[in-house]
Amino acid sequence: MPNEVSSNQTVSISYYPGCTLRGTAKEFDESTQIVSRIMGIELVEITDWNCCGATSAHVTSEYLSFALPARNMIIAEKMGRDVVVPCAACFNRLKFAEKELLKENHKGMDYKGRIRIMHLLDFLCQDENLERLKKKIKKRLTGLKAVSYYGCLISRPPKITDTKDYENPEDMDKILDTLGVSCPPWSYKTDCCGGSLSFTRTDISLRLTHKLFEMALEAGAECIVVACPLCHANLDARQGEISVQYKKDYYLPIFYFTELMGLALGHDMTSCLRGHLVDPTNLLESKGLL
């Protein structure tokens, strides 16, 4: 299979950032680039990539919802490398396209299934990449208590994502444990935050997000770590509104897991962290991590 190399070698992999990482989730993109560079991973951006259609194409056109991610898959296969995808929604749509392309022939869409599509978590949790991480850590994040929040789209539906532990994924937990972060167990790893309903049914979104905050605090967490731009935006942006509605002052910084990796790898992550609406500075300073 492609990309199987020693942890001491530089590895190249195709990179599909998607629209969100070049806009509202630029901190996810920046921290991913930082971490990859330090770990000796070359991210080769897919040539002339296009929007995957998440989350609206499927309500506009069934064909468009398949053709948009399929085009990226075909380009990636011609580049000859496996593909890593940070955005959970993009990952889900590319995996959907993969299944559709392999299921039947589509006119003008030549795809042989010779590459793998991996979420960034899956890729970084490969044994050789965990070894790379361990060797590069400069500062363990001891004392920080966080819950891993995967959201809906990375692991489900399993017939699309090919995830074995779709009810209890552990990749993010493994990474955080490697960083020295304390991860108390909780049962809400894959519960929906209502991010896709944030503007159409804000009431539902607020209720679901509030439940996550309560359960994270009950588990003893001081922050929530995510791997999805939509989850990050929803949990980060809604915290103030939820505090007012439920008459409780919540302070739960929301981190991309790659931001914490960057901190542990000794990089100054200020440019990423200053973009958060819930300022994580006080928490990190109280732990001696800034």
Mean pLDDT of 93-120: 91
**192: closest CA among 154, 221, 236, 243?**
154
H or E segment to which residue 148 belongs: strand 146-149
Domain boundaries, the chain: 11-122, 139-286
**Distance between CA 169 and CA 150 in Å, rounded?**
8
* pLDDT tier at 104, thresholds 50, 70, 90: confident
Pick the CATH number of 11-122 from 3.40.50.1970, 1.10.1040.10, 1.20.1050.140, 1.20.1250.20: 1.20.1050.140
Instruction: Work out the percent of the chain whose per-residue pLDDT is above 70.
Output: 97
Report whether pLDDT(6) > 80: no
Q: Is the pLDDT of residue 58 over 80?
A: no
**Domain at 139-286, CATH from 3.30.9.10, 3.40.190.10, 3.40.50.11810, 3.10.20.30:** 3.40.50.11810
pLDDT tier, 262 (very low <50, low <70, confident <90, very high otherwise): very high
